[in-house]
Structure 1
Amino acid sequence: MNEDYSEWTKVSNGKTETYFGYSVGLAHLTSATNNVLIGAPKDNYDQCKNSGFSKTGVIFSCSSTTDDSCSKFCVHNLESTLGRDIQNVSNAWLGVNIDINPRKEEFVTCGHRWKSVYVDDQYVKTFYMKGFCVVTTLNGSKSRRLLLMKSDNITAGGTSVKYTQDGQKIIVGVLGRDKYPGGIILFPNVGPNPDGKPMLLSSNIDNNYAGYAVASGKFFNNKYEYSVMGVPRDGSGAVLIIDETNHIVQRLQSESKEIGSYFGMKLCVADVNKDGLDDLLVGAPMEPGQSREEGQVIVYLSDGKKLQKKLVLFGDKEEGARFGSAMTLIGDIDQDGFIDIAIGAPYENNQEGAIYIYNTNKEGLPSTYSQKITGKDAAMGKDMKGFGISISDSVDVNNDSCPDFLVGAYLSNQVRLLFSRPVLDLNLELLPESQKINFAEYNCPNHGNKAVCFKVKLKFSYVQNNNQIPPKIDLEGQLATGSQSQMNLSRGVQSFGFKLETGKKLEKEFHIIVKEHPNIFQPIHITIQMALAKNATCKICPILRTKTFLKKIPFELECGDDDKCTTDLKVSASTTLKYLLYQKEEKFDIKVVVSNGNNHAYNSFATFVFPKYLQYIQAIKYKVQPDFECSTDSSAEEDMVHCTLGNPLPKNTNSTFALKFSSTGTIDQPENAINISVKTKSFEKPQDLKNNKITIKIPNRMKASTEFYGNSNPDLLTSETKNITVTHVLAIYNHGPSPLFGVTLNVTLPSLLKERPDLIQRICKNPSCPTSFDWQTISKGSNRQVKIVFIVNEKIHSVKKDLKYLETKAILARKDHRLYIADKNQWPWKISVQTAFQIEQEPIAWWIILLCILGGIFILALFIVLCWWLGFFKRNKVNRDEDQKSFAASEKLSNEPEENNVVPEKNTNSDDKFL
């Protein structure tokens, strides 16, 4: 960017609604007092000799050194040559275009709406819009008129006008419209009133606007100059290359599918690839893109035989911008030896307007612009509209060896003179202390940890190759190291500033820290951004040709000469967990073994992908590299854990570790199995990737301890009970740990309910009185209860004397058993709830009681007789005399002493009172 639109911009303003700036021209400062020419095609020559016409159009002559120093330039005495009886100059649009002779101090301008008047015998006037052009010296001393009116079959002559490159001819565009054919008139630029040579198309088809734009160029050799005319309404547009014999050498047809793109409305000839042959830029300002009238410019390059389409320029593709409405060569503004081009988009951003600058180079014309100047940029605090409708050729106005040019903004009646600035070639050498980074050499601290560091030295210098470049200059820069490294232990960017003197070198040194786990296949990018200091004191500060410098420093790898490090990783995984109980928190391990069968594996990772209802706890290291570590990533739909296997993971080695997980029990719906995938990543050949991924499937099982019971309230009905309410309760309780899914309860009511509704009735809150119940889910710790209520009539005891109980039967079923364990045989559950009836006993007759008493007496008497007959009541008599003799003999024997019996002596010294 070296067009200055702030301090070094000159301003010219015209009257409102005069289209001041619709055309512009910038001449070299020689004998002319003013060198800025500005067309205002809707202004009037009130300062020149009064011709009696209105809004003739005016050319203004302005100074390039002073703001608003413009005066009307009387290019021709409109009354002296032709009287008002044979011409009408009102609304002639004089100044609709301006072209300055590249070889002489003169310029040409036209008024394509000038009208000739034909008066018949009845003095009836007929107006013919033939147009006219005037050639005038820059100092206004001489002017001559190009006699277009000699040709009877033309209209709107002077719609476009252009000098040939040698300045010896003038090409005037004649608009093809109505019944008149279009084309060009070629005038020799000699003599006071030379005759032109019409080169018109043989016929006009549908107002094709042939001659709307004209140019010339040496396309096929460097000697002969061909004329070019635009035909913007020939279908979607066309451009014709013609020679002096009016032969069409080449026809360029628009490839647009849109009618009305106005391909050929503007033309620009330039040798953009510097091969000695002219090339052609064709504007199609009405070409739509994603929105209407975005505009485009098509570039055709010459191969010596014909012009061939090379590329298309688009600007910023803004709606209604009409990019390509103006195109001009603006010289070598970046001073690289190649010409540069400015393209106008006068209606961009709600008619504010803009110009785009394209810097050609040894590769030709780039597809992207180098600088954009908007109407707001050049407004200088004023309202700016239509900026970019016209762009002049470049001239070094302020003698700084840099081209400057004019830009018109006709809708706000303003013109800006934009000054280029000199270009400074800054030399910068970026010298790292080593050509490769050893990432295994931890040579500096980083927040208490060891890190890999290296130094970079910068050397700055410049040469004063332009007298406008100061001998000393203040510069500021920024060193950025990208995402793999950082500066000052925390940041990856560091700013600096210094004063540089021409012819001397200045050095700066920076310390760079490599971040942990870098991608060693990607080099460290060190980018230097340079700019002039904001407080620079130079009067006309230069522009840096190169603002960005880049150095790439690779990592040192142990992978042979090619540094490709082709590996062959293989992964295996296992777990001891047989199944996972649904909605039960449980911990388990996934053990992984990664083996490397080829070169060192740099930047190798193992990535675990698992459902979000699993929670990663920690990594268990068995046999891993020192820099092994794992980190989580929850940004995707599934959770992930990334584990670095080692940098490098050496060849022919294994990395063995395990990841511990916990089931959170928060899943909403059961699954047949949970999938945990493990995938390794490294630099491998496609055929070696098949064993880089494995998926562990852990069956998901469910267990629900279920309690199903029922009761009756009351449980017994007696004859004394009147009308009473009986409630049968059925209850289900889930003790877990898993929920119950798809549970149904089917109830069978007492049959008496249908047989005798007068004796028993069911009471329901729900009118449908359901007997089937469907529960989708019964979670752990939850229950479901069903109450069935009956009203029992007291007559039931007398009517149904043989009725023992009221019985309600229930079956509890589960639709799906496939995930449940340990209780499959328990289902379905069957229970019965009963309410017992007390049966009323009838009284016993008296004769039955008497008969029973008599029967009892008879049986007792019979029993006594039987016992007597068996001798139960008889006893033996005792012989008392023999008993007495036997007793006396035994007494006598007991009083005689035994032979060996020794009576012990009494111990009179014993303290014991009792033996």
Structure 2
Amino acid sequence: MNLKLRCGLFFAYLSFQSSQVNGYSFNVEDVIVISNDFVKNTYFSYSLLLQVGDGVSLIVGAPKNVANPDAGGDVYNCAIKEDSSFCTQYPFGRSLNSTVPNGNFLAMSMDGDSHQHGPVVICAPRTRSPDTKPMSYFTRGYCLYMKNSSLIYENPAVIAPTNAISLGADLSRDLAGKLYYNLAFAMAGFDVFFASPERIILGSPGVKKFSGAIMSYSVYENKIIGLFPKRAMRSSDEDTYFGYSTIMAHFIPQEAWYVAGAPRANDLKGKVTIFSQDINASEESRVVASFEGEEPGAYFGSTLLAVDVSNDQIVDLLIGAPTAAGKTWDEGSVYFYKGTSAKSFLRGRKLTGLAKIGGRFGSAMAAVGDFDLDGFNDVAIAAPYEDDGAGAVYIYRGSTEGLTNHFSQRISPSDFHMDVVNVKGFGMGLSKGNDIDRNGHNDIAIGAYKSDQAFILKSFSIIDYQAQLYPDIASISNETDSFKLNFCILYTERSAQINRNQMEFQIVIDLDYRSVVDTVSRTVTASSKVRTCTEFHVELKKIMNISPFTSVLSIETSTKGVIAHGEKTLNSIVPYSHGCGDDNICNTFLTLQLKASSNTLVLGLNKEISLDVKVQNDGEPAYQCSVKLHGSDELLLRNAKDCTKNDDHYTCPFNEYMMLVGSIQKTFIFDVLEITPDVAHLDFKGEVACLGVNDPTSKTETELQIPIVLHSVPYIIGKSVPESAELSLKSHSENVEVLHQFSLEKHGPSPLRIDVDLFIPVDQYNGINIFNVTSIHGATDNIGIDCMPSAAKEILTLQVPQDLPIAVNRTFLISCGSDYGCIRYSCKGEFLYQTAELAIFEIRTLVDMDSLALKYKSFLTKKDIIAYVPVAHQATESGGVAAWGVFLFFAHSPAPVPLWVFLLGPIIASLLLVLISFGLYKCHFFERNYKAKLEQEKEQQTLIVSDSDTQSQSIDDDIVLRNNDFANM
């Protein structure tokens, strides 16, 4: 069925001037808008795929169905024309599993080839499998695969990976025999990555009670060829949503690795894991690197993007945390990890955009390619709920340092044509960059799913130009009535696909007050790669002043859709004739010297650096001198109001009128911006220029290099948990697991490169390892550190310190000396930046207690303690520092009872009994004289009772008499 949507194309051709653009950007005045006006609230544009070939197609996903909430979502193929567009609905949408409560969310995730007529995969993670029993509502999920996206009415292939028996049933049992849901709620296709026409990566966060998994699906074999993880469900992984996001990238040229996010792992702080495709390796060894979030509930890892933005042939990683609170709530953030090698990354750099309340920056990310053709890939990051739900997209340009928190453009719907109103959710749908107008610069599609709209933004064409402004005379005098200013410009196109015949430049010159007119302007038409010149006639007033005649020229391009890159202002200074001989030409001999305030820069300590610039002239007077200062990107000139900032240098005036023979010196202060520890030095380059003719043998250019040094003092603390164990030399003992933990910290202002060697003593008994290392783990700032073992045992020359907490005369030492040797684990990470920052290394060792007791039984006759001493060593320029983790084994052996004890024991016991009995006899213990006393006490008690009865009768008689007397009264 064809459903034509109204596709609004808004073209607002405004004169765009380079001075209005902050960096290179997408054209917000020439936007193609595609809106679904037939059915609202379908989440139209929630997912987007921009394809270019002999035409332009935009594949649009609309996962929600308002007309029938229990039906599936829809997918559209929108053909984009220059003057019109129309969308056709794929017929397979609502026919799939129409009885799923709240819909199957078809096209919630979508990916495919960027070429028109190429493959596309569309997933419905909430889809019920056909064999599910009624009312069960298991959401296994599956995807649809189209080999040619242009064949709208061709039935797609169904990818139902969770129907494979090899993956397990809906229900499984854990090791304790307890039932849990295995594939019943897999939600396969919650995220999808199109690796190639034959390989698709599916995120399935609902597998194994929402522990999650990643599936690598072969289209050709129609089966899962890789699953991670395969292990049985662990309670610690439950509800972590591993596979919520997934991508694949070539971190090394010969192999692509998987990346998966688990936004509820790590105590709800989120975690991202990079792992290899080696299905024969153990799951632990497949893990290449891991990244951990720092804020609970931030959903760290819910979005991922891998792209080389620094053009160093090493893939960099971006991890989204869209619900990070920020200073308010749900501002969102993205962590940029610059790759330094296949497995190593610099410390995460946080990107936040404008950090607007509730914006959820990082909800979607896309690689837009090198759209400005500067040699670095660029990225787009969405904050779809900024500005009360309208949304925005931020463009970040790549560079040698990767990405910083300074975006080059913020695209908001409010920047578009006035007819586009009530845009909501802008940025949740975000396509990869693609060149739809074939100008060599990539364009992007952005979806606003809450208002059912999609927008296609074209990038500007970029040219580079060089311009000059110079007078036809060397100087002026009182007799000068007029002179000419010459302007020349030469431009080239960055894109080889553009052969623009001509460009128009608007030239405005502000003249000196001694000119008859204040301002002259002109439109200069130039051709590509052709130097074009024009001249301006300047008439002078009769005003006495020996100051130079100054003119300032401004350049703007009036060609629409083009950004011009070059110096925006040019200065022309004509000196007043003075002291330069009869020819009125000043022959100068200039020398430039640069001197820094320090020979080195201590990273983290020095926040500024002073540069002394000295200009020496040993020729005729030099007029209106200026110095061009080129500095590293990490430097910012302070108080640069007198200097002109160009693309890569500052131009600073050096004398107001003229400089006679001699020298002038100025000091410039540069603020040191953020410098990564891998930067080895700061570079300065200076160039002096004055009016006149300079001697070619003079040194007008010079360079200065300031080494960057790292000043930090590391220290390591080691401990063992538990600290000791009892070693039985007679009976069987259970094996003991020991955790050796080493904490690396640093003092000093500079970052400390993590270069730790862990030395584990090796010992055997009858070929059996006594100390077995079960795991080694290192981490800092939520980034894992790989520890690689040595191939053979090594001897450590470090002396064991005397202050170890052991009794030397009682202790047998197992260390890394010549008697044993060690296995060395080399742990190389990035850097510790802050003083309070820690790098933690944990070694888990399982000790065979029986083998230990058997080997050292004969040695423990004089000593009763065994000390096992692993070592951690951090390398430094001066050698290094070390720490020892001590674990003590206290030998325990019950002493035998001597034979004489058994022989003399009964005799001694008998004698002791006789002595006790004799003592009791002497104390009259056995005399029974208590009977007479008891009989005497009994007789006394009888007498007391008799007297009591007599007295009671007397009292009764007295009462009777008293009563009689009372009655007679």
TM-score, length basis structure 2? 0.48
Structure 2 equivalent of residue 228 of structure 1? 259
Structure 2 equivalent of residue 584 of structure 1? none
My pick for the range that moved more, 181-190 or 544-553, is: 544-553
Superposed displacement of residue 20, structure 1: 0.7
Larger radius of gyration: 1
Superposed displacement of residue 224, structure 1: 0.5
Residues 414 and 562 from structure 1, CA distance in 2 versus in 1: closer, same or farther, beyond 3 angstroms?
closer
Taking the aligned partners of 1:117 and 1:512, their CA distance within structure 2 comes to 89
Within the candidate set 376, 381, 386, 2:414 is matched to 376
Structure 2 equivalent of residue 169 of structure 1? 199
Superposed displacement of residue 550, structure 1: 6.3
Amino acid at match of 1:544: A
Higher relative contact order (CA 8 A, sep 6+): 2
Amino acid at match of 1:286: T
Whether the 8 Å contact between 1:300 and 1:307 is mirrored in structure 2 is: no
Within the candidate set 44, 54, 57, 1:35 is matched to 57
Amino acid at match of 1:371: Q
Q: Does residue 389 of structure 2 align to residue 351 of structure 1?
A: yes
Taking the aligned partners of 1:552 and 1:364, their CA distance within structure 2 comes to 37
Structure 2 equivalent of residue 864 of structure 1? none
Structure 1 equivalent of residue 270 of structure 2? 237
Secondary structure of the 2:371 match is coil
Whether the 8 Å contact between 1:334 and 1:545 is mirrored in structure 2 is: no
Structure 1 equivalent of residue 562 of structure 2? 542
Structure 2 equivalent of residue 761 of structure 1? none
1:160-215 deviation line (CA, Å, top 9, x unaligned): 43335444321111125993311211111214566763536753546322212111
Residues 267 and 549 from structure 1, CA distance in 2 versus in 1: closer, same or farther, beyond 3 angstroms?
farther
Taking the aligned partners of 2:440 and 2:661, their CA distance within structure 1 comes to 64
Residues 443 and 386 from structure 1, CA distance in 2 versus in 1: closer, same or farther, beyond 3 angstroms?
farther
Whether the 8 Å contact between 1:157 and 1:172 is mirrored in structure 2 is: no
What count of residue pairs does the alignment treat as equivalent?
544
Whether the 8 Å contact between 1:88 and 1:114 is mirrored in structure 2 is: yes
Residues 506 and 189 from structure 1, CA distance in 2 versus in 1: closer, same or farther, beyond 3 angstroms?
same
Within the candidate set 332, 335, 338, 1:298 is matched to 335
My pick for the range that moved more, 277-286 or 354-363, is: 354-363
Q: Does residue 121 of structure 2 align to residue 108 of structure 1?
A: yes
Residues 306 and 196 from structure 1, CA distance in 2 versus in 1: closer, same or farther, beyond 3 angstroms?
closer
Superposed displacement of residue 410, structure 1: 0.7
Q: How do residues 376-415 of structure 1 correspond to structure 2 at under 5 angstroms?
A: 376-378=414-416, 381-383=419-421, 384-415=423-454
Structure 1 equivalent of residue 211 of structure 2? 181
Whether the 8 Å contact between 1:117 and 1:127 is mirrored in structure 2 is: no
Whether the 8 Å contact between 1:342 and 1:358 is mirrored in structure 2 is: yes
Q: How do residues 54-133 of structure 1 correspond to structure 2 at under 5 angstroms?
A: 54-65=70-81, 67=84, 69-75=86-92, 78=95, 88=100, 90-101=102-113, 105-116=118-129, 125-133=135-143
Gap runs ≥5 in structure 2: 1-23, 171-181, 576-585, 596-616, 623-655, 670-969
1:401-423 deviation line (CA, Å, top 9, x unaligned): 44232110011110012223433
Within the candidate set 445, 452, 459, 2:488 is matched to 459
Within the candidate set 260, 275, 298, 2:312 is matched to 275
Taking the aligned partners of 1:651 and 1:239, their CA distance within structure 2 comes to 66
Structure 2 equivalent of residue 712 of structure 1? none
Structure 2 equivalent of residue 568 of structure 1? none
Superposed displacement of residue 317, structure 1: 2.5
1:404-452 deviation line (CA, Å, top 9, x unaligned): 3211001111001222343333332355779xx9xxx98479xxxx99x
Superposed displacement of residue 341, structure 1: 1.8
Residues 488 and 199 from structure 1, CA distance in 2 versus in 1: closer, same or farther, beyond 3 angstroms?
farther
Structure 1 equivalent of residue 34 of structure 2? 11
Structure 1 equivalent of residue 303 of structure 2? 266
Whether the 8 Å contact between 2:123 and 2:192 is mirrored in structure 1 is: no
Structure 1 equivalent of residue 776 of structure 2? none
Structure 2 equivalent of residue 216 of structure 1? 248
Secondary structure of the 1:171 match is strand
1:559-606 deviation line (CA, Å, top 9, x unaligned): 9956899xxxxxxxxxxxxxxxxxxxxxxxxxxxxxxxxx99x9xxxx
Q: How do residues 709-858 of structure 1 correspond to structure 2 at under 5 angstroms?
A: none
Amino acid at match of 1:410: Y
Residues 352 and 88 from structure 1, CA distance in 2 versus in 1: closer, same or farther, beyond 3 angstroms?
closer
1:116-174 deviation line (CA, Å, top 9, x unaligned): 58877xx7x32222222221231132412222433531435245433354443211111
Between structures 1 and 2, the one with greater helix share = 2
Whether the 8 Å contact between 1:147 and 1:195 is mirrored in structure 2 is: no
Whether the 8 Å contact between 2:359 and 2:389 is mirrored in structure 1 is: yes
Taking the aligned partners of 1:185 and 1:487, their CA distance within structure 2 comes to 77
Secondary structure of the 1:149 match is helix
Structure 2 equivalent of residue 144 of structure 1? 157
Taking the aligned partners of 1:191 and 1:78, their CA distance within structure 2 comes to 26
Structure 2 equivalent of residue 323 of structure 1? 361
Structure 2 equivalent of residue 135 of structure 1? 145
Secondary structure of the 2:103 match is coil
Whether the 8 Å contact between 2:304 and 2:317 is mirrored in structure 1 is: yes
Residues 159 and 188 from structure 1, CA distance in 2 versus in 1: closer, same or farther, beyond 3 angstroms?
closer
Whether the 8 Å contact between 2:71 and 2:104 is mirrored in structure 1 is: yes
Percentage of pairs with the same residue: 24
Taking the aligned partners of 1:363 and 1:259, their CA distance within structure 2 comes to 29
Residues 489 and 331 from structure 1, CA distance in 2 versus in 1: closer, same or farther, beyond 3 angstroms?
farther
Q: How do residues 650-669 of structure 1 correspond to structure 2 at under 5 angstroms?
A: none
My pick for the range that moved more, 166-175 or 177-186, is: 177-186
Whether the 8 Å contact between 1:486 and 1:512 is mirrored in structure 2 is: no
Q: How do residues 342-741 of structure 1 correspond to structure 2 at under 5 angstroms?
A: 342-361=380-399, 364-365=402-403, 367-378=405-416, 381-383=419-421, 384-431=423-470, 443=477, 457-463=486-492, 468-478=498-508, 496-508=522-534, 528-532=554-558, 541-546=561-566, 548=568, 561=591
1:200-249 deviation line (CA, Å, top 9, x unaligned): 67535463222121111111x20100000112223322211011234453
Residues 562 and 473 from structure 1, CA distance in 2 versus in 1: closer, same or farther, beyond 3 angstroms?
closer
Taking the aligned partners of 1:286 and 1:108, their CA distance within structure 2 comes to 28
Amino acid at match of 1:342: A
Amino acid at match of 2:273: L
Superposed displacement of residue 505, structure 1: 2.8
Residues 133 and 519 from structure 1, CA distance in 2 versus in 1: closer, same or farther, beyond 3 angstroms?
farther
Residues 463 and 532 from structure 1, CA distance in 2 versus in 1: closer, same or farther, beyond 3 angstroms?
same
Gap runs ≥5 in structure 1: 47-51, 566-598, 603-645, 653-681, 687-915
Taking the aligned partners of 1:685 and 1:16, their CA distance within structure 2 comes to 61
Instruction: Compute the RMSD of aligned alpha carbons.
Output: 4.9
Taking the aligned partners of 2:259 and 2:547, their CA distance within structure 1 comes to 57
Amino acid at match of 2:432: D
Secondary structure of the 2:354 match is coil
Amino acid at match of 1:417: I
Superposed displacement of residue 345, structure 1: 1.7
Structure 2 equivalent of residue 284 of structure 1? 321
Secondary structure of the 1:368 match is coil
TM-score, length basis structure 1? 0.51
Superposed displacement of residue 499, structure 1: 2.1
Amino acid at match of 2:489: F
Secondary structure of the 2:111 match is strand
Superposed displacement of residue 385, structure 1: 1.3
